[in-house]
Amino acid sequence: MHSTSSGTAQLTLGQLGEALVAEWLEAQGVKILHRRWHCRWGELDLVALLPEALPCKALASATQPTGSPLVLAFIEVKTRSRDNWDEGGLLAITPSKQRKIWHSARLYLAQYPRFANFPCRCDVALVGSQRLKKEIAKKETGKQEITKKKTALSLAVQDHEPQQENPKRPPTLGQPIQRGDYRLTLQHYLADAFQLD
């Protein structure tokens, strides 16, 4: 990864989509165990321990059910631009891809046997992307830099009492959010999208 002038790391579009989904899940109190876990069969984009009832209507409304049993979710993230050939990435989850995910999940459980007794499922997150024109992206980045400098200056001028900055708005299902040179939207989160054999 290379650093940009704004101090953020340049990530691939797929990594940006995975980070967005992880951020969305974490905002709901979900524990992300691993990101981009690799094995000989491939990669598990995200591995998370979450209440069985999440994500569903409860996640969409940002309320968490109490007492829900935990489930280990292997989450495949597909990030696509508009007018793609594969229904936003959904058609890329072929039976062959499902088998690779399942084999990877079995190796994950072998490496981390403490999770072997949890019920497991495969979730799919579909992220839409729109590349911003360079002028727009630079303008937005410039605005962010100016805001950071103004905030730093106002904090330095005050009696050395640090103020809480407004927290970054967490992603919301269906709402676009800018990340780097892209506008990303978590379009769908499909819990238990396909069965593990």
pLDDT tens digits for 13-22? 999 999 999 9
Domain ranges in the chain are 13-131+171-194
- Residue labelled with tokens 């950071």: 148
Owner of token pair 């990303």: 184
Question: In this structure, how many other beta carbons lie within 10 angstroms of the beta carbon of residue 129?
Answer: 22
Nearest to 144 by CA among 3, 2, 1, 8: 8
Please identify which residue in the block is written with the tokens 């299902």.
173
Secondary structure of residue 179 in the 3-state scheme: strand
Per-residue pLDDT tens digits for 143-193: 555 555 554 444 443 443 333 334 577 899 999 999 989 999 999 999 999
pLDDT (0 to 100) of residue 140 = 56
Strand, helix or coil for residue 87: helix
- 12/14 Cα distance (integer angstroms): 5
**Burial of residue 183, with CB atoms counted within 10 A of its CB: 0-12 exposed, 13-18 middle, 19 or more buried:** middle
Beta bridge partners of 118: none
Q: List CB contacts of 73: < 8 A, sequence separation 6 or more.
A: 46, 47, 48, 49, 50, 120, 121, 122, 123, 191
DSSP state letter for 31 = E
Give the model confidence (pLDDT) of 41-93 as tens digits.
Answer: 899 999 999 988 766 544 444 444 456 789 999 999 999 987 777 777 777 88
Domain at 13-131+171-194: CATH architecture:
3-Layer(aba) Sandwich (3.40)
The model carries a pTM of 0.74
- Kindly indicate the confidence band of residue 195, based on its pLDDT and cuts at 50, 70 and 90: confident
Distance CA 100, CA 80 (A): 21
Q: Return d(Cα 33, Cα 115) in angstroms, integer.
A: 11
Contact yes or no for 3/9 (Cβ under 8 A): yes
Query: What pLDDT is recorded for position 169?
Result: 78
